[in-house]
Amino acid sequence: MQTQPLIRLGTRRSPLAMAQAHETRARLCAAHDWDESAVELVPVVAGGDKIQDRPLADMGGKALWTRELDGWLHEGRIDAAVHSLKDVETLRPDWIALAAILPRADRRDVLLGAPSIDAIAQGARLGTSAPRRAAQMKNLRPDIEVVLFRGNVATRMAKLQAGEADVTLLAAAGLERLGESGVGTPLEVAEWLPAPSQGAIGIECRSDDEQTLGYLAAIDHAPSRAEVRAERALLEALGGSCHSPVGVLAEADGEAIRMVAALFSADGAERVDGEASLAPHDDDAVRALAADLLGLATPGITALFTGEG
């Protein structure tokens, strides 16, 4: 029986984050034939979990989900950190390595409160704090009002039930990991593009920690890494940040990756679309797609793509 853990996994305390950490532990134990006690889960309260009454973009962006875990990792209090990759900044410190990406789950968003976008009542309220979801909905349904919705999955579902909004959107992957996959209507990607890296769990560790890098390499899923890497590279090339309404999806298509993307103005009135077929790790092709999108974009869109991811 294993007495001391071989690896300490840091995670946020939310039910979804804990579910992702449990999946990571299960995959590590299966890959290495370890007892469960070999992997210790270390819950950490993230800044983004403490403040629920303001949009994420107004409080410091995605760093609110990573700052505490980064600190614990840097101090050696944990060996690795488990993240929803869509919540991780595109540009990360050199001392951090993205050591593993688990097999990607459902990329889609799920609509709750109506059976389809067309069926949402005229003038209904969409509860969301995500600029992408707000702008994409306003692009399709300019009549819909956007109201602030923050909190974990259960909190947002409860707010919807309490009538604080008429409809909301949640990630299908998160619902699935929480055993709520039968809730709502999944929106097909041809109609509704997800966030970059949606559905992907990433595990980071210190880039000089060879032992942990080796442990995590065994659970890295190469096809998911190729897709997510392309999406994150596009966001970086666009200068996207938490304020940037961008939908993107990269999917393996034989030996190539097919990527579709859309940029929006904050009010959804302006939209530009692009797509490309590229080889894995072809950053030049990703940058070319970003340049094409920004070249087509109106000032209302480009003003939102001047950050650092």
Residue found under tokens 């309260």: 45
- Would you list the DSSP string of 39-101? EEEEEE--HHHH--SS-GGGTTTTHHHHHHHHHHHHHTS-SEEEEEGGGS-SS--TTEEEEEE
Q: Which residues, 6+ apart, have CB-to-CB distance to 33 below 8 Å?
A: none
Helix then strand then coil, % of the chain, to nearest 5: 35, 25, 40
> Could you give the CA distance from residue 30 to residue 34 in angstroms, rounded to a whole number?
7
117: tokens are 């976008």
Cα–chain center distance at 42: 21
User: Is 87 a catalytic site residue?
Assistant: yes
The answer to whether 87 touches 108, Cβ cutoff 8 Å, is: no
Q: Which residues, 6+ apart, have CB-to-CB distance to 11 below 8 Å?
A: 17, 18, 20, 21, 41, 42, 43, 44, 69, 81, 82
Out of 70, 79, 87, 109, the active site residue is 87
129: tokens are 């704090």
Cα–chain center distance at 107: 9
Nearest one of 220, 158, 155 to 16, comparing CA atoms = 155
Active-site residues: which are they? 87
